[in-house]
Amino acid sequence: MSDAEALDAYSRTVSAVARTVTPHVASVRLARGGGSAVVFDVGYLLTNAHVVGGDQRGTATFTDGTEADFRVVGADPLSDLAVLRVRGPAPDPAELGDADRLVVGQLVVAIGSPLGFSGSVTAGVVSALGRALPVRQGRTARVIEDVIQTDAALNPGNSGGALADSSGRVVGVNTAVAGFGLGLAVPVNATTRRIIDTLLVEGRVRRAYLGVVGVPAPLPDDVAERTGQTAGVRVVEVVAGGPADRAGLHSGDLVLTVARSPVSDAQGIQRQLFAEVIGTRLPVTVLRKGAMVDVYATPTELVG
């Protein structure tokens, strides 16, 4: 394939994604700012929590010029996601994909309203996966895990817009400009779909709190062979007086499973820490001094 043919194929792909996704992306205006949003369900938009801030209503403008008022159904600052309910006509939903299937180097297209210019399209590649984005709610700090890093150009106003794959499936919600040539997007995957569903029903996301800080770490060969698991989470800090501390977890423990589900990174632990485990005895299996030990922690509710 010649350079010209390759460029034409690239252009055709980006153009096709733009035609598919752009009609489903809105520019949103609120009292204290604005950004972008994506139609993900009939009459509902998905955007960033930081786009809506503390506002409860605003106006969405679609690329065909249609305007509709919306109210904020719910926002979750700790995942930087928010759901809006449109009061009026809105396009059909965009197709959602699965960010867990992305690979580094894959083509992605960002669509939003940077600097107020609605329907703007930029393209690039997935430049890294598994990035972490620190966020804060009140006095509570948390890290959004598995954030997508892309070199598709993002500017103020892109936040809340769509990051789509080459098939026109929305795989991320653009959330931040990390630096020159670097953009970040919250992934659309099983975890965020669960957050979205919770926001639709309850308007907020309750989370359980263990009080541990950990980093991925490989398992010893004999343990890996016995368990079929290659990595766990090394505990580097246990918050004094927290559920993990009361349960007897120690710095240096290597966490293998939480609620009997294998974990290999912080996201694996967070997947188990939703509302239903608050106040329940949660089994945590750790490797300690060469032996596998079960401890039982009772998570409390995470509050800001």
d(CA 46, CA 44): 7
Catalytic residue, chosen from 24, 55, 76, 80, is 80
The beta strand positions in 15-168, using DSSP E, are 25-30, 33-41, 44-47, 57-62, 67-76, 81-87, 107-112, 120-137, 140-150, 162-164
CB atoms within 10 A of CB 106: 16
Q: Which of 254, 125, 100 is nearest to 190 (CA)?
A: 100
Burial class (CB in 10 A: 0-12, 13-18, 19+), 51: buried
Q: Which of 27, 113, 118, 159 is catalytic?
A: 159
Instruction: Check if 159 is active-site.
Output: yes
Burial class (CB in 10 A: 0-12, 13-18, 19+), 34: buried
Candidates 36, 50, 55, 120; catalytic one: 50
The answer to whether residue 3 is catalytic is: no
Q: How far apart are CA 301 and CA 209, in angstroms?
A: 6
How far apart (Å, rounded) are the C-alpha atoms in residues 122 and 157? Answer: 13
Asked if 140 and 27 count as a contact pair (C-beta separation under 8 A), the reply is no
Residues 288, 247: Cα–Cα separation, whole Å: 14
Task: Give 210's contacts (C-beta < 8 A, 6+ positions apart).
Answer: 242, 243, 244, 269, 273, 282, 297, 299
Confirm if 25 and 112 have CB atoms less than 8 A apart.
yes
Which residues are part of the catalytic machinery?
A: 50, 80, 159
